[in-house]
Structure 1
Amino acid sequence: MLPDPQKGLGRYYSYLNSAVKIIGSYQGHEPLAHFLKNYFSREKKYGGSDRKQVTQLCYAYYRLGKDFADLSFEQRVLLGLRLSSKEIAAPWNALLAIYKVPETFSGAVFPWKDQLSGGIDPAAFEHSFFVQPDLFLRIRPGNEAPVIKKLEQAALPFQKEGDALRLPNTAKAGEVLALNSEAVIQDLSSQRIAGFLHRFKSLALDVSQISPDVPGPGSRVSVWDCCAASGGKSILAADVLGTITLTVSDIRPSIIANLKKRFHEAGIKNFRSLVTDATKPDGQLSRERFDLVIADVPCSGSGTWSRTPERLHYFSTDEIKTYAGLQRRILANVTQSVKPGGFFLYITCSVFRAENEDQVAWLQQRGWVVKDQQVLEGYKLKADTMFGALLQKKANFI
C-alpha cells in the first residue's frame, strides 16, 4: 500500500508503483530487457524519461538477489536503488525515508560463495552486482586510427585499454562505427580470450617440430568453434591466428543465420557452418580432426549477472548440475575431434567451480594436459567474469 503522495513526489510514487506492478507480473521466463521492451510497447503512456526511470527501478530490485523477504516490494526496490546509484535525486531520498528503507542490510546477495572458482574474491564479486558493467569494443586489426577518429568526432566518451575501448553502457556505437568490420562489441574478459589464442599459436609452432599432425609455420590452422553462438570467438580467432580453415556450428538454426550475417559484415568469407548438436557425434565432423577446437559452452552465465540481475534472483543451484552435465556431454563428444598433439580451448562465463575447474580436472583424468587456465576476473573492472582453459591432447593419445 503506497502512502499518500507528498507534494512534488507524485511522479516518483508513480514510477515506484509501475516498477512494483512490472515486478509482480515478471516471472523470469525471458530476459528482463525483452520483457520491459514488450511491456512498454503495449503501454503507450510511458515517455522516454518514464521508461528509463522505471527500468532502473526494476533492475535495482533484482540486484538484491532473492534475499530480504522481510522487506516490502517497495523497500526492496528502493534499497536496490540506494545501493546501485552513485547519486540519488532528492525525491528518491525522500521516499527512502518515507518507506523507512534500512541504511544497511545483513542479507546475502550471492549466497553460493562456497561454490565459486578459486581466486574469486567473494565480497568483491557480490558487490559487483550493484555496478552496471560498461560497454566494450574490440578494435579489429588495422582499424585503430579510423575508429578513434570517428568516436572523437561523434564526441562519444571512451577509454582505450589495449585493443579494447571502454564506453558508457548507453553509448550508441553502432550509429558511429561499422560494427563487426571496424570494431566488434565484445566484453573485456571475452577479449582477453585472445591470450589463450596467442598461447595456442606459440605452442602449435613448437609442436609442429615433433608432430606431423600439427601445422608448422605458414600452414593453415584448422579451427572448429563448436558452440559458435554469434561468432564472436571465431572473429577473434581469425584476427589473432590469421588465415584459418574455420568451421562453426550451433544447435540453433536462427543463430547460424545471424552468424552468417555477422561474418559477412566482418569480411570472413571462407568458413563452413553447420547446425548440429555438440553433445552428439555428427556424421561429417566425427570423421574430421582439428588443430584447435573452441568450446564456449552453455553455462549458468553467472559471470554476467551484473548485466542481467534477474538471473541472480531466479537462479536455482539445480542449474549448476544441469549445465555441468550438458558441458560434460559436449566435452566427451567434441574433444574426440582434436588431432593428436592438437589443442582444446574451453570457455565459460560462469563463476562456479563445477562448471570450470571441475570440468578441466575431468579432462586431465583422461590424459589431457593443461597449458593455461585462468579465471578472467571482470567483477572489479565493470566487466563480465569468465573462465578459460587451454589443453593439449598428447601426441600419442588414443
Structure 2
Amino acid sequence: MSRFRSYLYSAVRIIESYKGETPLAVFLKNYFSENKKYGARDRRQIAALCYYYFRIGKAAESLSVSDKIILGTFLCENEPSEFLETVKPEWNDQIENVLKKKLALVKTAFSIDTIFLFKKELSAGINMDAFSTSFLIQPDLFIRIRPKVRLGVLSKLEKSKLPYRLLDDDCVALPNSTKIEDYFTLDKEVVIQDLNSQRVLNFFKPQHATHKTPAIPAWDCCAASGGKSILLYDIFNQRIDLTISDIRPSIILNLHHRFAKAGIKSYKYFIGDLASPKFTETLPVDQQDNLKPAIVICDVPCTGSGTWSRTPEQLVFFTKEKISAYSLKQKQIVTNVIPYLQKDSALVYITCSVFKEENEEVVAFIKDKFQLELVQQELLQGYAHKADTMFVAIFRKR
C-alpha cells in the first residue's frame, strides 16, 4: 500500500471511530498520542484529510467515507498534491480551477447548498452562498496589536517575511498555521483574537480616555479567555475598574496568568453560575453591593455556529434542539445580569452564533422584558474575510 493510500485508510478509520463527543482537534491529538507510529508529516496529512471530510458536512451522503474525503480534498485544496495524484489523478489535474468550475465537475455527487442544513434558523443578513462556501476554506489567524507597540510589531512582521494582511489599524491576518509565539510576546505585544471579536466593542472606541479619566466600572460576566476584557482595557487606555466572572475556576486561574502578561494588575473576580435562577443568592457578599458596572460585557455561551469553519465537525454532529437550549440559557444569563446595570449603563450582548433564536430573539426578549434601549445591533459577517461571524447588540439603561 502506498503512503498516500495509507493516509486515506487511517483517516477513514479515525472518522469512523469519532462520535463528536469532544472537539475533533482534541480527538486527533489523543489518537496520535496513543498511536505513536505516525510522524509529524503523517499526522498533518491525516488530520487535514479528516477536516476535509467534515468541511462538506452532510453533503454527498451517498458516497463512502473514503470518497467523501477525496471529494473534500479536491474542493478545499488549490494546488496539485501527491495524495490526489495517487487517489484521483483526473481531479489533481483540475485542482487549480476556481471553485465554481470544480463544483461543476462534481455536481452529480455534491451540491454546496447541502453543506449547512439549518437555513431556516439563520439570522437575517446571512448570504447563504457565501456562508456555505466558507466551510470549504481554512480561516485565517488574526492578531490584535496592543497599544503603544504598533510600529514595533509591524517592523517585526516585515522582518519575519510572513504573508500578512493589515486590517483596520491594529488587526493583522495571517495563515492559520502561523506560530505567533515564535515572533511576538503573546498578550503583551499582540493578542490572538478573531477579526470580528476585535470589532464587537467598536461602539466604545470614540471615548479617548486619558490617564485623568475616572476609571469606568466594567463587568465581563462570562469572561472565558478574557480577550474582551483586554480589548476593553486597551480601548479605555487602562481606565477601567474591571470585574470578571465565570462559572469555571480553571478559567479564573488562567485569566490571572494572562492578565499578568497583559499588564492588567488591578481587577476583581468571582466564580458564579449566571445561568442559574439562584445566581443572586450565590453571589459573593463582597460583590452584592459593590457590583455597579457602567459597562457589562455579556459574551454568552452559544452554539458557536459562526465559528464552524474552524470546527467543521459541528456540521455533522450538531442537532437543532441545541439552539433552543442555548437560547434559554442566554435569556437566564441576561435576566441575572441586567438588575446590576446602573442608570445610563451599557449592556453588550455578544454571540458567535448565526442563529436568530440566539441573536434577534434574545434582543427582543431583552427589549420586551426589561425595557432597555437598543442602541446598536449588528451581524458581523466573517465569511468574506476568512473570519468568524459574530452578533453584537448594545443596550442602554435609561
| Matched AA of 1:129 | F
- The whole-number CA distance in structure 1 between the counterparts of 2:177 and 2:116 is 26
Instruction: State the 1:91 CA deviation.
Output: 4.1
For 2:264 and 2:229, how far apart are their aligned partners in 1? 10
- Pairwise mapping of residues 280-299 of structure 1 onto structure 2 (< 5 A)? 280-281=279-280, 282-284=283-285, 285-287=287-289, 288-299=291-302
Tell me the equivalent position of 1:320. Answer: 323
42, 49, 53: which one pairs with 1:57?
49
Does residue 240 in structure 1 map to residue 243 in structure 2? no
Task: Write the distance in 1 (CA, Å) between the matches of 2:340 and 2:177.
Answer: 41
Q: Which residue is equivalent to 2:6?
A: 14
Structure 1 residue matching 2:344: 3-state secondary structure: strand
Which of these residues, 215, 218, 238, is aligned with residue 213 of structure 2?
218
Query: 1:387 — aligned with what?
Result: 391
Give the superposition deviation at 1:219. Answer: 2.3
1:26-105 equivalent positions in 2, closer than 5 A: 26-96=18-88, 103-104=106-107, 105=110
- Alpha-carbon distance between aligned partners in 2 of 1:260 and 1:309, rounded to the nearest angstrom: 31
TM-score, structure 1 normalization: 0.89
1:24 offset after TM fit, Å? 1.1
**In structure 2, distance between residues paired with 1:170 and 1:91:** 20
Q: Distance in 2 between matches of 1:294 and 1:176?
A: 31
Query: AA paired with 1:37?
Result: K
Tell me, yes or no, if structure 1 residue 144 matches structure 2 residue 150: yes
Aligned twin of 2:272: 276
Query: 2:270·2:284 contact (CA, 8 Å) conserved in 1?
Result: no
TM-score by length of 2: 0.89
Which amino acid counterpart does residue 234 of structure 1 have in structure 2?
A: S
The unaligned stretches of length 5 or more in structure 1 are: 206-216
Q: Determine if the alignment matches structure 1 residue 251 to structure 2 residue 281.
A: no
What displacement does 1:298 show?
A: 0.2
**Residues 91, 343 of structure 1: CA spacing in aligned structure 2 closer, same or farther, 3 A cutoff?**
closer
Q: CA deviation digits over 1:278-331, x for unaligned, max 9? A: 122224444332101111000000000000101121100011011001001001
How far apart, in 2, do the equivalents of 1:98 and 1:38 lie?
35
SS of equivalent residue, structure 2 residue 392: strand
Per the TM alignment, residue 18 of structure 1 is displaced from its structure 2 partner at its CA by 0.4
Cα pair 2:4 2:86 within 8 Å, conserved: no
Encode CA deviations 1:184-240: one digit per residue, 9 max, x unaligned. 0000010111313326x49xx9xxxxxxxxxxx822210000000010000000000
Equivalences, count: 371
Q: Within the alignment, does 1:116 sit opposite 2:140 as a pair?
A: no
Which residue identity lines up with residue 389 of structure 2 in the other structure? T
**Counterpart selection for 1:23 from 8, 11, 15:** 15
CA deviation profile, 1:118-163 (whole Å, cap 9, x unmatched): 1110111011001110011100001111112222333222221121
Three-state SS of the structure 1 residue aligned to 2:302 is: coil
Moved more, 157-166 or 356-365: 157-166
AA aligned to 1:316 is T
RMSD: 1.9
Residue number in structure 2 paired with 1:369: 373
Task: Give me the whole-angstrom Cα distance separating, in 2, the residues matched to 1:190 and 1:218.
Answer: 26
Structure 1 residue 97: deviation in Å?
6.2
Structure 1: distance between partners of 2:132 and 2:322: 19
In structure 2, give the amino acid aligned to 1:141.
P
What runs of 5+ residues in structure 2 fail to find an aligned partner?
92-102
Partner of 1:175: 182
Whole-Å Cα distance in 2 between the matches of residues 261 and 132 of structure 1?
A: 30
Q: Is the 8 A contact 1:286 1:337 kept in 2?
A: no
Shift of the 198–57 alpha-carbon distance from structure 1 to 2, 3 Å rule, reads: same
- Asked whether the equivalents of residues 158 and 167 of structure 1 are also in contact (C-alpha less than 8 Å), the reply is yes
Amino acid in the other structure paired with 2:28: L
Kept in 1: contact 2:11–2:46 (CA 8 A): yes
Residue type matched to 2:176 in 1?
N
- Give the one of 141, 147, 155 matched to 1:135: 141
Asked if structure 2 preserves the Cα contact closer than 8 Å seen for 1:132 and 1:307, the reply is yes
Q: Distance in 2 between matches of 1:169 and 1:311?
A: 19
**1:137 partner SS:** strand
